[in-house]
Amino acid sequence: MVRSFTDLPLTPAMRDAIAGAGFSIPTPIQAEAIGPILEGRDLIGCAQTGTGKTAAFAVPTIERLTGAGPRPSAGVGSGPRALVLAPTRELALQIAETFDTLGGARGLKTVVLIGGEAMGPQLAGLQRRPDVIVATPGRLFDHLERRTATLGSIRIVVLDEADRMLDMGFAPQVERILRVTPLDRQTLCFSATMPPEVDRLVRRHLVRPVRVEVGTVAKPVAKVTQVLYPADGLKKTPLLLKLLGEERGRTLVFTRTKHRADRVARAVLAAGHRVARLHADRSMSQRREALDGFRSGRYRVLIATDIAARGIDVPEIAHVVNFDLPGTPEDYIHRIGRTARAEASGRASSLAAPEEREQLRAIERHLGHPVPRAAGSSH
């Protein structure tokens, strides 16, 4: 049984990098996935959100690229040998940061290829012969079409948040990208859920994969305290402001639309809270500034659409508020999974209007029990 990173066959350099990053003991997904990946096995990793999936593939990928494990690849700097696909720009940037943190001291170079940013710096990054490409499918597909990126030297492919990528309509690009990578690559697929379309992708592209499933897939982290507040549309903003006044921690608020995110943010700002917005109409620099500010504490409240529901690793989010209920139970799980990360506890409040009754029923059927009502309320 793996109880410590010292129980894993990691190099002293990686153990030093892990310690420097502040990791002490491996999470369950890390404990079970790192060994098979180091052995060169294809792998399917299923785990709740917030359980450390990024390090679960970054640690062994870096080790393999720098000489650990079977079939050592060419040396650092010989060209891109690992490709990580992620559904959103924010998640891609976070993954690249993890690779830089854990592999930078060993000379590992990473380039990020995402939409919403100029091609020029990305082309310059590709010309520096990076070891790792971290990309969103759409932008990488653009580079392949322009022949500014080639994938013939790729040895390891990681599909992170695979279910979300397919939900967002990236299946054709993902299929095309996989077809132009070598057949003898190692392929790793990480996903919080395993819907039929992900299962079909896995059957087509992974060879005798090890399956690692930690906890109950697509169920909330146990340390999230869920509370439902029945409230019609006009009462939601005052109720949100009341909740923000009662609790002082970092709060992430989800709205259904970009327009509502803007409107709610104005009300929160007028109430005296430091607030930022995150949605698809914001530029990449604005989105990065909002996330960095929320992460650093410059903003206490972040108002977001579902673009931020997955893969945004902001520590110590005390409270997630569903200002609007999401359209699917899976999105509910991923939203509230932004709190109670890395074994911490957290609170998730949902403001449910009468017209959201069907969404609430679907969420409760998925959970297998009612969402606990706030004291004094009925619905």
Instruction: Give residue-wise pLDDT tens across range 355-376.
Output: 999 999 999 998 889 999 998 6
Q: Residue 214: phi, psi to the nearest 5?
A: -115, 125
- Whether residues 63 and 186 fall in one domain: yes
Report the chain's terminal Cα–Cα distance, integer Å: 46
Does 194 lie in the same domain as 228? no
Asked if residues 240 and 351 have their Cβ atoms less than 8 Å apart, the reply is: yes
Of 214, 245, 274, the residue at which a domain comes to its end is 214
Residue 373 lies in a domain: no
Report yes or no on 372 lying in a domain. Answer: no
The answer to whether the CB of 164 falls within 8 A of the CB of 87 is yes
Residue 216 clears pLDDT 60, i.e. is over it:
no
CATH of the domain at 276: 3.40.50.300
Is there a single domain that holds both residue 280 and residue 305? yes
Query: Within a 10 A sphere around the Cβ of 6, how many other Cβ atoms?
Result: 10
- The pLDDT, as a whole number, for residue 47 is 77
Query: Over 80: is that where the pLDDT of 76 sits?
Result: no
Note whether residue 314 is domain-resident: yes
User: Could you tell me if 176 and 242 lie in one domain?
Assistant: no
**66 shares a domain with 20:** yes
- The last residue of one of the domains, among 188, 214, 240, is 214
pLDDT value of residue 316: 83
Residues 203 and 228 in one domain: no
> Is there a domain that residue 219 lies in?
no
Judge whether 18 lies within some domain.
yes
Give helix then strand counts, H and E, for the chain.
14, 13
Q: Which of 4-8, 31-35, 157-161, 208-212 has the lowest mean pLDDT?
A: 4-8
Which of 214, 249, 271 is where one domain is finished?
214
Tell me the average pLDDT of the chain.
Answer: 89
In this predicted structure, what is the pLDDT of residue 176? 94
Residue percentage of the chain with pLDDT more than 70: 90
User: Is the same domain home to 254 and 196?
Assistant: no
Amino acid at position 180, single letter: V
Is 343 contained in some domain?
yes
- Nearest CA to 322 among 234, 231, 249? 231
Top-confidence residue, 176 or 73: 176
374 belongs to a structural domain: no
- Boundaries of domain holding 53: 5-214
Q: What is the mean pLDDT of residues 115-122?
A: 91
pTM, 2 dp: 0.74
Provide the domain count of the chain: 2
pLDDT digits (tens, 9 = 90+) for 244-285: 999 888 999 999 999 999 999 999 999 999 999 998 888 888
Scanning 10-66, the segments in alpha helix (DSSP H) are 12-20, 28-38, 53-65
Average pLDDT over residues 46-74: 80
Averaged pLDDT for residues 63-82: 71
